[in-house]
């Protein structure tokens, strides 16, 4: 819908933005009506080992879970970067809680990387940012079983290692 004003067409959307902008600029004391609670953060993901058949291809076809892979959570939201290690279980799953110095407000400055494989015959692939770092994707709120504190659960990956294959 538009309005003809002095030979110019002004859309209803433009009128709305003008109205909102003028109200905000005239009311210097207004504060947001709500704020999001700050939570601690935890991260989960899965690590696989790709088959030789699909080495070099961005797929998880024929991939198997990797036991003992080390991943690193790195956050650059403080003066001193924070690094936390995690390790995958027999299902390739890892879960880690970040130190309490890192909260959901700084999650956008955190990434998770594949760090090391359980054996020297595997190389990290960059599937889903395994090498360059995967940004955290929010999943859900939960309460830590260890500390009884509120956490936001983030997910990354899935990641994959590639075997050194002879073709």
Residue 49 pLDDT more than 70? yes
Task: Taking residues 59-77, report their average pLDDT.
Answer: 93
Pairwise pLDDT comparison (73 vs 27), residue with the higher score:
73
How many structural domains is the chain composed of?
A: 1
Rounded Cα distance, 93 and 6, in Å:
64
Cα–Cα distance measured from residue 94 to residue 156, given in angstroms and rounded to the nearest whole number: 10
Contact 77, 110 (CB under 8 A): yes
Average pLDDT of the chain, as a whole number: 77
* Residue 125, domain extent: 40-163
Looking at the domain assignment, is residue 107 inside a domain? yes
Whether residue 158 is contained in a domain is answered as yes
Q: Tell me whether residue 31 is in a domain.
A: no
Task: Compare 42 and 22 and report the one with higher pLDDT.
Answer: 42
Each residue's pLDDT tens digit, 110-151: 899 999 999 999 999 999 999 999 998 887 665 555 656 677
């Amino acid at each position: 819908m538009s309005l003809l004003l002095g030979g110019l067409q002004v859309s209803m959307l433009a009128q709305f933005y003008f109205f909102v902008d003028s109200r905000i600029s005239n009311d210097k004391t207004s504060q947001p009506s709500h704020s999001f609670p700050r939570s601690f953060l935890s991260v989960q993901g899965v690590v696989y080992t790709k088959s030789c058949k699909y080495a070099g291809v961005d797929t998880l076809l024929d991939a198997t879970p990797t036991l003992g892979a080390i991943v690193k959570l790195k956050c650059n939201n403080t003066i001193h970067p924070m690094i936390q290690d995690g390790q995958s279980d027999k299902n390739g799953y890892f879960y880690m809680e970040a130190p309490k110095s890192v909260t959901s407000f700084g999650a956008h400055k955190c990434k998770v990387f594949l760090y090391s494989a359980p054996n020297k015959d595997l190389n990290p692939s960059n599937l889903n940012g395994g090498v360059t770092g995967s940004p955290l994707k929010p999943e859900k709120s939960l309460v830590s079983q260890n500390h009884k504190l509120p956490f936001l659960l983030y997910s990354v990956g899935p990641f994959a290692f590639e075997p050194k294959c002879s073709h």
